[in-house]
Amino acid sequence: MAGVDSEEIELTTGRSEAVVDLTRTAAEFLQRHDARDGLLNMWVPHATAGLAVIETGAGSDTDLLTALRELLPGDGRWTHRHGSPGHGRDHVLPALISPSLSVPVLDGHLALGTWQSLCLVDTNVDNPVRTVRLSFLPG
């Protein structure tokens, strides 16, 4: 019976590059499942998005998107050519920013530092709606 506590959650990220803070979404998931001690796994089931732990609301989310524009330019260099111009970069992104992230959970709380937020990083402007899977493994 049972199986693992796991849920898919839908998000609207819109038609521009986005860093979306999922910290509250993750905390609410843990509460809903009465999760106590273990590991939370976040997973993005998309080939053009990733998960990052950064500070939000102090410019670093913007800085990340700027850095990614330099590291993976949205120009004509990419072999993969579907979608908007430069979209091939979005398919390389998950190699650098993994779609998998595991976070320790202690007494029902994410073991985050003061300035850490759990974020979806989505440079793909063609897919305005995204999904994140949250799974809890008890310790």
Assess contact for 133 and 42: CB atoms under 8 A: yes
Residue 11 or residue 53: which is nearer to a copy of itself going by CB?
Answer: 53
Tokens of 21: 């803070």
> Residue 101 forms beta bridges with which residues?
42
DSSP helix/strand/coil, 40: strand
Assess contact for 18 and 129: CB atoms under 8 A: no
Least separation in angstroms between CB 28 and a copy of itself? 18
Least separation in angstroms between CB 40 and a copy of itself? 10
Residue 12 or residue 57: which is nearer to a copy of itself going by CB?
Answer: 57
Rounded to the nearest 10 degrees, how much is the dihedral formed by the CA atoms of 128, 73, 116, 18? -20
Least separation in angstroms between CB 49 and a copy of itself? 10
Sites of contact with a copy of itself (CB under 8 A): 2-6, 36-39, 41, 43-47, 52-55, 58-60, 62-64, 66-67, 71-72, 77-82, 88, 91-92, 94-107, 111-116, 121, 131, 133, 135-139
